[in-house]
Amino acid sequence: MPVPQQPDLTALPSSSSAQRAAAVLVGSGTSGATVDDGQVLRRRLPLSFWISAVFLAIIVLAAVTADWLPFVDPVEDYDPQALAAGPSGEHLFGTTSNGNDVLSIVVQGARTSLIVGLFAVALGFFFGGLLGLVAGYFRGWFDTVISAVIDILLAFPALVLALAIVSFKGPSLTVVTITLGILAIPAVARVARAATLQYASREFVLAARTLGASHKRVIFREVLPNVVIPMAAVSLVAVAVVMVAESGLAFLGAGVPADTPSWGSLMKLGQGQLDKGAAHICLFPAAALFITVYSLNTIGDTLRQRFDVGRGVL
């Protein structure tokens, strides 16, 4: 979300009145602005940012090292003595109705979700970013066409299309990733275009053009470096969005193959058990998804406020 620009107080003594400073200050108390020694207003990263960073680090670490951690196999190993059993010393998160270990599935599912999230976003940001960059830089008819196409594509319910494509193609990690990546392109292009517009008419870009730099050079040397930083903040939020979509698809039975552990399919499995005294099957992956999404959103949002990307579109 947008946050008022940092007050430009260097201009204060010359042309702006203290009134303007006052006006700017009313809105400046947003992101962790704290009153320090009573003389100077300071900003620092809020506590929620650090908590989120730690959460995310744990989840990523668990996903990466899952194979070396002493977990039972989430698919092969099952415990016939404990079907849909609640959390215990042996199974920290309990077991599924098939006797599989919920903790193992949650940890392995993190890997699935992260792979889909990262690769789909990489795909979406590469193509969407390029389109938005070019449209925002050149403006004119090209921009008009791209913007119209984006508007048209956004009219279609992305999740429904993803569901249809994945269902008809058959479940596969690659299909899910590519589908979600492609469906992210219009939204990403729109954000990238908006970010580019902010810079395309700035003095340094015009100066580079005037000095005879080619369009290609100006786009990649002058505009892109400025757009990349805010877009990186947006991409974290995008990873969260894609992970939610992936879980949603898996929950609808159209995600990754059945033998691939996934939060969404675990939740699907657990939904039927909600009222049978085994709510843990559904609630643990739900909690994992929530914590991951919350962390990504918080970090992305904090960075976005820092770099003041225009009104969030995602």
Partner 1 sequence: MSYFARKIGFLLIVLVAVTFLAAALIRLLPGDPATVIAGASGATEEELDQVRADLGLDDPLPVQYVGWLGDAVQLDLGRSYISKLEVRDTISDRAPVSFQLMLYAQIITLLIAVPLGVFTAYKAGTRFDRTANGITFAFLSLPNFVLGFLLIYLFAVKWNLLPASDYQPLSDSIGGNLKGLLLPALSLGLGQVAVYSRLLRVDMIATLQEDYVTMAKAKGLPIRRVLWRHALRPSSLGLLTVVGVNVGSLIGGAVVVEQVFQIPGVGLGLIGAIQARDYIVLQGLVAFVAIVYVLVNFSVDVLYAVLDPRVRHARASAA
Partner 2 sequence: MNSPSTRSSRPAPVSLGPPDPTLPLLEVDGLATHFLTERGMVKAVDGVTFSLRPGQTLGVVGESGSGKTILARSIMGLLPPRNVTRTGTVRFAGHDLTAMSERELAHVRGREIAMIFQDPMTSLNPVLRVGRQITESVRHHLGMSAKAARAWGTELLDMVGIPAPGLRMDDYPHELSGGMRQRVTIAIALACEPKLIIADEPTTALDVTVQAQILDLLQELQASQGMALILVTHDLGVVAGRTDDIAVMYAGKIVEHAPTPALFAQMRHPYTEALLRSIPKLDDASHTRLETIPGRPPDLVAPPPGCRFAPRCMLVQDRCRTELPELTAGGGSGHRYRCFYPVGTEIGEAARARNEAGATPAAASASTASAPRSSMASRVSTASESDGSRGH
Distance (Å, rounded) from C-alpha 125 to C-alpha 135? 15
148 C-beta neighbours (distance < 10 Å), count: 10
Residues numbered 186 to 245 that lie near partner 1 (CB under 8 A) are 240, 244
Site track 38-77 with partner 2 (rule: CB under 8 A), x = hit: xxxxxx----------------------------------
Distance (Å, rounded) from C-alpha 274 to C-alpha 262? 18
Distance (Å, rounded) from C-alpha 165 to C-alpha 254? 9
Asked if 9 touches partner 1 (CB under 8 A), the answer is no
Q: Are 123 and 177 in contact (CB under 8 A)?
A: yes
Residue 146, binding choice from partner 1, partner 2, none, Cβ under 5 to 8 Å by partner class: none
Query: H or E element: which one contains 43?
Result: strand 41-43
DSSP 72: P
In a 10 Å sphere around its CB, with 0-12 CB exposed, 13-18 middle and 19+ buried, how is residue 3 labelled? middle
Residue 240, binding choice from partner 2, partner 1, none, Cβ under 5 to 8 Å by partner class: partner 1
Asked if 283 touches partner 1 (CB under 8 A), the answer is yes
Mark the segment that binds partner 2 (CB under 8 A) among 28-36, 95-103, 239-247, 290-298: 28-36
Q: Which two tokens stand for residue 124?
A: 């979406």
Residue 43, binding choice from partner 1, partner 2, none, Cβ under 5 to 8 Å by partner class: partner 2
Q: Which two tokens stand for residue 26?
A: 């009313």
Query: H or E element: which one contains 33?
Result: strand 33-35
Mark the segment that binds partner 1 (CB under 8 A) among 2-10, 75-83, 108-116, 201-209: 2-10
Applying CB under 8 A, among 2, 5, 6, 207 the residue interacting with partner 2 is 6
**Least CB distance from residue 43 to partner 1, whole Å?**
11
Asked if 23 touches partner 1 (CB under 8 A), the answer is yes
Q: Which two tokens stand for residue 115?
A: 């792979």
Helix axes 173-200, 224-251, angle to 10 degrees: 150
Query: H or E element: which one contains 28?
Result: none
Applying CB under 8 A, among 2, 4, 5, 15 the residue interacting with partner 2 is 15
Site residues, partner 1 (CB under 8 A):
1-4, 23, 26-30, 33, 48, 148, 151-152, 155-157, 159-161, 163-165, 167-169, 240, 244, 247-248, 251-254, 267, 270-271, 274-275, 279, 282-283, 286, 289-290, 293-294, 297-298, 301, 311
